[in-house]
Amino acid sequence: MIKVGDTLPASTLMEFSEVEGGGCSIGPNPVDVAKASAGKTIALFALPGAFTPTCSAKHVPGYIQKFDELKAAGVDEIWCVSVNDAFVMGAWARDQKSGAKVRMLADGDAAFTKATGLTLDLTGKGMGLRSNRYSMLVKDGKVASLNIEAPGKFEVSDAATMLAQAKP
């Protein structure tokens, strides 16, 4: 399992773009994790699935609400990672009105999630292999802090915890 001090796993996530520009075409675009995190401070949080109750009611809204404070604390970008496809993450971004505040990144085949060792098997609930709920502060591609939730909990991966860890 990934731990503080480790480098994020080399992988590619997918991001749905609504408009063409900045080298991105409309639709799913690859995001090389190593390149996208280089030289940046990232508040990364992951969750079991788009449109799920806790994720939609608390997790994503909390990071949207704390966006300005996280930026003031030195966070360059906020990433939301879920084992869903880019089309679902794009629809969820529209639903959550995450705009330019939270990058909704799809880990469609769970490659990133498996590489972190933070998988959650929800096969019995009809969801298959998913990501555990967690957050991490990433500085220049390395994990500076890691907050892993206990099963069924939402206590340490929230935006307030991340903000406290991001403050110098």
Strand order in the sheet with 134-139: 27-32, 12-17, 103-106, 77-82, 41-47, 134-139, 142-148
d(CA 75, CA 18): 24
d(CA 72, CA 96): 22
Q: From 124, 133, 68, 138, select the one nearest 101 (Cα to Cα).
A: 68
Q: Is 80 a catalytic residue?
A: no
Return the CA Rg of the chain.
Answer: 14
Residue with tokens 């929800």: 122
d(CA 46, CA 112): 11
Q: Which one is catalytic: 31, 43, 46, 55?
A: 55
Pairing state between β 12-17 and 103-106: antiparallel
Residues labelled catalytic: 55
